Amino acid sequence: MSDGVLVVDKPAAMGSTDVVRVLRRVTRQRRVGHTGTLDPDATGVLVVCLGRATRLVRFLQEGRKAYLARVAFGVETTTQDASGRIVAERSADDVTEGRLRQALTGFVGDIEQVPPMVSAVKVGGERLYDKARRGEVVRREPRTVTIHDIVVESFEPGERAHASLLVTCSSGTYIRTLAHDLGGALGCGASLARLRRLTNGAFTVHDAHALTEIQEAAEHGELHRLVLTMAEAVRGLPSVEVDAETARAVATGRGLPPTGIPGPIALLHRVGGEPTLVAIYADADGHARAQAVFVQPADLQRSESR
């Protein structure tokens, strides 16, 4: 099985680590990792890196994300979503679409969120959800996240008003917490009823494959059709094609002249007409320096001699 990236359409009632466990078995790869957790009840885009591509995780997880969120007003739960125990109920019949839209203006831009107790955030070296299972509640420091846009897709008034929101946000944003805080702003409380991730960086639901499709492809020896190469996987990053001489220098981790491009940049080299990811570089201290190298000089020599 080659190194690369699988874009999975995660089903509900399955944790992100469960998906990784299934893919380890299906792909026969030990090194498998995802670029951003989805809650068990959430569905949608989960980007999973295989083999050497696991070194891409830190570069792929920082992109914007988009979610379709179904928010239930008038209900608060222990987990801020439908999986938790209801702790408060109020009528939401005074929530109008106009009030909702006005309240949402306060959540666009850089905002602070307190991570929920049931989350993968570590406090004191331990995941919050492990503490929550023991009934512990600990202080969590607020984190700054960015909400780029919120679009009201639909609104249904009533004692149990509901809204469907299209949210575009930065990595690290908790949509459950957004729903909870929105309910607080409206004075009725709220929780997340349903969540689907539509995009994760450059990857969308149109790129995603159901686990059943992935398993069937593996059974028929056709899994390679679904796996993106590492060069394809970095399409969301700025990229530069380099010649053979530069590629060999890059393969040894040698510094290059600064690119002038903020953030990481993918260096590609064509072998037999197909682009190969050689390395990820970034400007630092007046040079472009290797952040991760994916080939060895010998790999390039073998490829060029074919």
83 φ/ψ sector (left φ>0, alpha ψ -120 to 50, else beta): alpha
Q: What are phi and psi of 156, to 5 degrees?
A: -125, 110
**Contact predicate 67/196, CB 8 Å:** yes
**pLDDT tens digits, residue range 146-201?**
999 999 999 999 999 999 999 999 999 999 999 999 999 999 999 999 999 999 99
The C-alpha atoms of residue 78 and residue 193 are separated, in whole angstroms, by 13
The C-alpha atoms of residue 223 and residue 29 are separated, in whole angstroms, by 13
Q: 193 and 75, same structural domain? A: yes
Predicted local confidence at residue 288, as pLDDT: 86
The SS3 assignment for 300 reads helix
**What is the secondary structure of 135-154 as a DSSP string?**
T-------EEEEEEEEEEEE
The percent of residues above 70 in pLDDT, for the chain, comes to: 96
Q: 168 and 150, same structural domain? A: yes
The SS3 assignment for 111 reads strand
Q: 195 and 143, same structural domain? A: yes
What's the number of domains the chain is made of? 3
Q: 208 and 171, same structural domain? A: no
Is 9 known to be catalytic? no
Q: 190 and 70, same structural domain? A: yes
Q: Select from 73, 78, 104 the least CA-distant residue to 91.
A: 73
Q: Which of 3, 9, 18, 39 is catalytic?
A: 39
Q: 227 and 108, same structural domain? A: no
Predicted local confidence at residue 302, as pLDDT: 55
**Token code pair at residue 180:** 């909870």
Question: Among residues 212, 231, 250, which one ends one of the domains?
Answer: 231
Q: 14 and 130, same structural domain? A: no
Length of the chain (residues): 306
Q: Which residues pair with 258 in a beta bridge?
A: none
48 CB burial (10 A radius; 0-12, 13-18, 19+)? buried
Mean pLDDT, rounded, for 116-120 = 75
pTM across the whole model = 0.92
Q: 171 and 77, same structural domain? A: yes
Specify the CATH number for the domain of residue 247.
2.30.130.10
**pLDDT tens digits, residue range 4-34?**
999 999 999 999 999 999 999 999 999 999 9
**pLDDT tens digits, residue range 83-96?**
999 999 999 999 99
The SS3 assignment for 96 reads coil
Higher-pLDDT residue of 258, 54: 54
Q: 182 and 297, same structural domain? A: no
Q: Select from 35, 16, 69, 34 the least CA-distant residue to 177.
A: 69
Task: Indicate if the pLDDT at residue 303 is higher than 80.
Answer: no
Q: 171 and 99, same structural domain? A: yes
Task: Provide the domain limits for residue 12.
Answer: 4-63+202-231
Q: 122 and 75, same structural domain? A: yes
Predicted local confidence at residue 234, as pLDDT: 96
Predicted local confidence at residue 222, as pLDDT: 95
Task: Indicate if the pLDDT at residue 1 is higher than 60.
Answer: no
Q: 209 and 90, same structural domain? A: no
Specify the CATH number for the domain of residue 43.
3.30.2350.10
